């Protein structure tokens, strides 16, 4: 196994290892976000081995024991593990309390989105607003040249017109690629970031940790929200969104709204809008099959928690109406209400990791795209119109959900993203 030395970066075009403009003869300072997990632990180790001056920093974010399953991801244990890793590596270690910023930028955002009937992705926002913004500024105040995280992704560097352009590349481990979670990063943020484990597979990371006798070597991966642990979502939401009983309405797969006739469109944009349009349901179009305690507690594609039995196949949420407090469900994972080919990203919610690749109004681009983490990349075409950016998939996608992020790629590079409207 070959590890890249300090000052050496991966050039995605030539597939060669090339010297970058980092000062090879001076130690660069890197602040690593030590989460108490194996990935960030190995990231810190690799950077130290590569000759960087490494500082470990643990972020204490918003935490509420009343809604956190504390025995699964207690922040205090994570902080202690991070400290022990720093001691083992012989690097300075600090804890920084970002509770206030996390509440303002992430927790309050989650409440707003759920109240509007949208399903947010706090991990994407946490990366954009906390790890690669607040945390980055703290690191720079400490004299850092870079920050580093344990994300399974890579950074490439291109030289265009004597100017550096940074690429956000998928991690080499196809089962752990986390580029989607970083889909809102900017060129400025990427310029100050290193991803030390992006070239490695997860088993290789654990092997290194074990060889170095790091306490995190066999620690389970966190399944919780960004740096705060595993949360009981209904309990979390009930802090501000109170329970309210409403109906669960089942929509038949033979519902007339699912039948798409061969229509003639006056423009391409009219066709794109039709393909991307949400289905509208009313309670009169279905039958009541149960009751729930709040439509804002549910999301499209959800199967668990409905508490409706006696059906031949599982019921899936196909839509929610928070104004009328109604959940619409369909029978089986192949119900037509779960699927559509298109979605719209409003212009103000569109983001280009590579601004130099941004298309203009009236232009289109063939891409690969995904609408959630761990989803395989799907062939799609993006169209930029006056209404916003349409993403039209070659094949229908299940549970396209408002508030989530769609990310689009060219080959292994994530070039842009946006919030699904």
Token pair 């204490």 in the structure block, residue: 60
Distance CA 335, CA 116 (A): 25
User: Among 307, 315, 306, 416, which Cα is nearest to 358's?
Assistant: 416
Q: What angle do CA 365, 370, 371 make, to 5 degrees?
A: 120
User: Among 365, 354, 353, 357, which Cα is nearest to 390's?
Assistant: 365
CB 169 within 8 A of CB 51: no
User: Among 232, 223, 195, 218, which Cα is nearest to 81's?
Assistant: 218
Half-sphere exposure of 90 (CA within 13 A, CB side): 5
Q: Are strands 53-60 and 29-33 parallel, antiparallel or unpaired?
A: parallel
Altogether, the residues listed in the chain come to a count of 421
Element (H, E) at 29: strand 29-33
CB 31 within 8 A of CB 77: no
Q: Which two tokens stand for residue 108?
A: 């309050």
CA dihedral 81, 85, 87, 91 (to 10 degrees): -130
User: Among 7, 50, 1, 35, which Cα is nearest to 172's?
Assistant: 1
Distance CA 417, CA 317 (A): 25
Distance CA 301, CA 5 (A): 45
- The alpha carbon of residue 355 and the mean position of all alpha carbons in its chain are separated, in whole angstroms, by 20
Catalytic center residues: 126, 226
């Amino acid at each position: 196994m070959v590890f890249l030395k300090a000052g050496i970066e991966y050039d995605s075009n030539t597939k060669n290892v090339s010297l970058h403009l980092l000062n090879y003869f001076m130690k660069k300072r890197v602040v690593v976000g030590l989460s108490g997990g194996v990935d960030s632990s190995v990231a810190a180790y690799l950077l130290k081995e590569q000759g960087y001056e490494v500082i470990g920093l643990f972020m204490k974010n918003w935490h509420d024991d009343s809604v956190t399953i504390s025995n699964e991801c207690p922040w205090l244990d994570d902080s202690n593990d991070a400290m022990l890793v720093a001691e083992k590596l012989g690097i300075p270690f600090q804890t920084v309390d970002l509770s206030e910023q996390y509440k303002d930028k992430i927790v309050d955002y989650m409440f707003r989105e759920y109240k509007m009937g949208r399903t947010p992705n706090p991990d994407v926002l946490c990366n954009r607003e906390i790890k690669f913004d607040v945390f980055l500024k703290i690191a720079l105040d400490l004299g850092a040249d870079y920050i580093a995280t344990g994300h399974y992704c890579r950074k490439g560097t291109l030289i265009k017109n004597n100017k550096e352009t940074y690429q956000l590349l998928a991690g080499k481990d196809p089962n752990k690629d986390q580029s989607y979670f970083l889909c809102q990063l900017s060129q400025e943020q990427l310029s100050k970031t290193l991803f030390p484990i992006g070239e490695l597979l997860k088993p290789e990371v654990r092997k290194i940790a074990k060889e170095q006798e790091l306490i995190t070597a066999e620690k389970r991966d966190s399944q919780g929200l960004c740096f705060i642990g595993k949360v009981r979502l209904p309990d979390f939401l009930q802090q501000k969104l109170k329970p309210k009983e409403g109906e669960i309405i089942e929509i038949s797969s033979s519902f007339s709204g699912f039948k798409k006739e061969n229509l003639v469109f006056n423009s391409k944009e009219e066709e794109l809008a039709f393909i991307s349009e949400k289905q509208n349901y009313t309670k009169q179009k279905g039958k009541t099959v149960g009751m729930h305690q709040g439509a804002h507690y549910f999301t499209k594609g959800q199967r668990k928690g409905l508490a409706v039995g006696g059906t031949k196949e599982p019921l899936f949420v196909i839509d929610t109406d928070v104004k009328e407090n109604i959940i619409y469900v369909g029978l089986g994972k192949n119900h037509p209400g779960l699927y559509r080919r298109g979605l719209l990203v409003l212009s103000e919610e569109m983001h280009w990791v590579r601004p130099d690749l941004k298309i203009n109004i009236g232009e289109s681009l063939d891409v690969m795209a995904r609408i959630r983490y761990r989803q395989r990349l799907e062939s799609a075409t993006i169209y930029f119109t006056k209404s916003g950016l349409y993403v039209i998939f070659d094949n229908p996608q299940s549970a396209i959900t408002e508030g989530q992020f769609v990310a689009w790629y060219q080959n292994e590079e994530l070039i842009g993203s946006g919030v699904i409207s």
